[in-house]
Amino acid sequence: MTVIYVDADACPVKDEVQRVAGRHDLAIVYVSNAWMRLPEGLKVERIIVPDGPDAADDWIASRIGKGDIAVTADIPLAARCLKAGAQALGPTGKPFTDASIGMALAMRDLSKHLRETGESRGLNASFTRQDRSQFLEALELAVQRAKRG
């Protein structure tokens, strides 16, 4: 059965995940470094990992598998999930795929370099209502793909 793993620390679409998962009777695992208020449900599990770099990512990557879905903005985690046979979605609804993950990793590294050299301030775009809507649609499609196998 498909499980939706959520990298919950900075995820703006927790309620949307709950809505789609509830419609399809799927389990959700929210993984974070600290306790936070999260949507409740019978098939909701909260995992709090110890502080440390990539602790939540490591927990998710060690358990996710074929047929599961990861919700994360963390590109290296998305790459690890794809390698395990899972699907990965960003919170704006952008799916990470085998075809796109290499470019996404390269752009992440370039952006990091530009921030470190002072060429860029690394400002992120605000999260919009349209992003939320695109995420709902993308998660629904991911669940349908998972159900088809």
Q: Which domains does the chain have, with CATH numbers?
A: 3-148 (3.40.50)
Category of 73 on φ-ψ map: left (φ > 0), alpha (ψ -120 to 50) or beta: alpha
- Is the pLDDT at 147 greater than 80? The verdict is yes
Mean pLDDT of 4-18: 94
Q: pLDDT tens for residues 99-120?
A: 787 676 666 566 665 667 777 6
- Is the pLDDT at 23 greater than 80? The verdict is yes
- Is the pLDDT at 29 greater than 90? The verdict is yes
- Is the pLDDT at 142 greater than 80? The verdict is yes
